Amino acid sequence: MQHALPDHLTGTLLEGRYELGPRIARGGTATVYRAVDTRLQRVVAVKLMHPHLAEDPTAADRFVREARAAARLSHPHVVSVLDQGHAPDGVPYLVMEHVAGSTLRDVLRRRGALPPGEALALLDPVLDGLAAAHRAGLVHRDVKPENVLISGTGRVTVADFGLTRAVDQHTATATVLGTVGYASPELVTGQRVDTRADVYSAGIVLFELLAGRRPFEGGPLAVARAHAEGAVPDLRTLDPGLPAGPARLVARATARDPQRRPPDAGSFLEELRAVRSGLRPAELARLPPPGSVRGGPPAPPRDSGATTALDPAGAPTAALGAEAAPTEALGPAAPTEALGPAAVRTEAPRPRSTPTEIRRPPGPGFPAASGRPLPARRPGGSSDPWRPEVELRPTRPLHAAGTLALVALAVAGAAFLGWLLGSGPGGTVSVPDVRGAGPELAEQYLAGAGLGNVAVHETADPVAPAGTVLGTDPRAGATARTAEQVVLLVSAGPERTTAPDVSGMPEQDARARLEEAGLTVGSRTPVPDDAAPGTVVGQHPEAGHAMAEGSAVELAVSGGARADSAPGVLGRPVDEAVRVLAEAGYPARVEESLGAPFGYVVAQTTDGAEVVLTVV
């Protein structure tokens, strides 16, 4: 479910039209706010790029270009882009359709694995929306459950085309911009990607819907290696009772070789509907076994050739730069044969034989206690039934080759371990102290120390200005591995609250109500009013205004009805005279005579509703 939280931008009006409400999401490139289009009086979602990213002209131009590309889509299963503009500080934003409801990730957290019928029904509109994007020449590049929105009426839409690129704009890159847990092998290894990358990600989503967890677990680097070098596990090895159709569908969509996948989301959708129509009602409604709801076996060792299931919660979104892994770790792998439409029969590997000695059983002519082995079979053969027909001992050349292979593997493993614990992601550095800096400068300091995996977490702080780094996790001075994620704790300013309406309350009740809202009482001004004395008759700021916690609200308190005539204040000090008149409900205007060296009232006249005091 989307949780709305006010922050320092709540209440901001963009270009005189879009009034920002509470924050509903924050990602790696932008923050999303629920907002009101004041011109059309409708609720929308405004996606505002992070200011430190907007300072890069290339990133800002790409944000605008991709927003315009996404706006070309008009489909019931794609979140519509309605408008685009720039905030007063130049930060670009885009306005999207607001979908009130939950995400597919919420469904997975709540229910775990789903029956095949529900899983296929949920993926159907997702593929329908992606197919519209593919027909328009766009690739989403970040298909995951968090980007699948489900409205209160059950409408399913694909959101966040922020990583979208036109197919002809794709180039090889060493940076993974999507979520690693759902990234295709070609995206992980920096190769050119096309619509088949979205097909792979959608296949991983279907795997998670059927198994309750993703196929690979571990840190971002380990998961990226698994996608690049391993094969997605067969779902039927995890759940033997699963119908063969959905398992084959997942295997085809997640083939490591893009040529073996459906060419685009439209083709994948046709295959999904064919599989769904071929399942019996009992197969569609089959409940997953209890063990497939959550959890999974531990991650394999770093240098293990095997890949295992499964990460229940999912690894966080991470960007893998060129320095995140050695070239050989994420290089292109040999194509993997995927399961076809028909079941593939494979022969179980035979266990390797070990040297065996054949002994004769005791009996006539066979000394029971000798225990001596029979000699090897002669070339001419023998009719002795106790002689082996073939030699089971491995020949010397094979033995030598095996030894050399083991030595080569040991040397390679030692070299890899040296790199891992030295300059590779296994190396350690000290976390620098970046408190007080801005997020962008802090990231530069961390990158200079060898820590390139940085995330930003905003937290309220009553003292530090918004955008100031409060600290890091791990803390400054701690030892961290170069591949480890460092979290920047950034101040979002004080907590925001809304001024309550205290007009008409007795002063003491108004004070208590303001304190409950986290506010204090500022100046108290008595004013003449027909309300009972001590009743609050006005406040500043007005009710409903967003304020920082701890801020003061000024109160105007009734001093009772104004007297029929102004009290006399002749001979009093001017400050006292003005106060007495104000309490009686008469504003005063002071006129100084001879520079007013003494500050006493020597004359008092009434000019309409105002009292004029002459002071010397």
**Active site (catalytic) residues:** 142
Which tokens in the block code for residue 250? 């997942």
CA atoms within 13 A on the CB side of 273: 10
Instruction: Using alpha carbons, list the distances in angstroms from residue 473 to 167, 425, 478, 482, 490.
Output: 39, 18, 9, 14, 11
Packed helices 195-211 and 244-253: angle between N→C axes, nearest 10 degrees: 140
CB 293 within 8 A of CB 113: yes
Which residue, 190, 254, 163, 179, is CA-closest to 223? Answer: 179
Instruction: Using alpha carbons, list the distances in angstroms from residue 611 to 135, 160, 528, 589.
Output: 79, 65, 15, 6
Which tokens in the block code for residue 504? 């008409």
Phi, psi of 481 (to 5 degrees): -75, 150
CB 544 within 8 A of CB 499: yes
Which residue, 577, 576, 558, is CA-closest to 568? Answer: 577
**Distance of alpha carbon 429 from alpha carbon 445, whole angstroms:** 13
CB 616 within 8 A of CB 598: yes
End-to-end CA distance of the chain: 70
CB 61 within 8 A of CB 73: no
**Distance of alpha carbon 333 from alpha carbon 354, whole angstroms:** 33
Count CB-CB contacts under 10 A for residue 573: 14
Phi, psi of 148 (to 5 degrees): -110, 110
Residues 135-151, buried b or exposed e (16+ Cβ, 10 A)? ebebbbbbbbbbbbbbe
Residues 502-522, buried b or exposed e (16+ Cβ, 10 A)? bbebebeebbebbeeebbebe
Which tokens in the block code for residue 265? 């989301």
CA atoms within 13 A on the CB side of 175: 7
DSSP-derived secondary structure letter, 16: T
Which residue, 538, 535, 506, 533, is CA-closest to 522? Answer: 538
**Distance of alpha carbon 231 from alpha carbon 251, whole angstroms:** 9
3-class secondary-structure state, position 53: helix
**Distance of alpha carbon 271 from alpha carbon 339, whole angstroms:** 14
Helix ranges restricted to H, 388-482: 396-421, 439-448
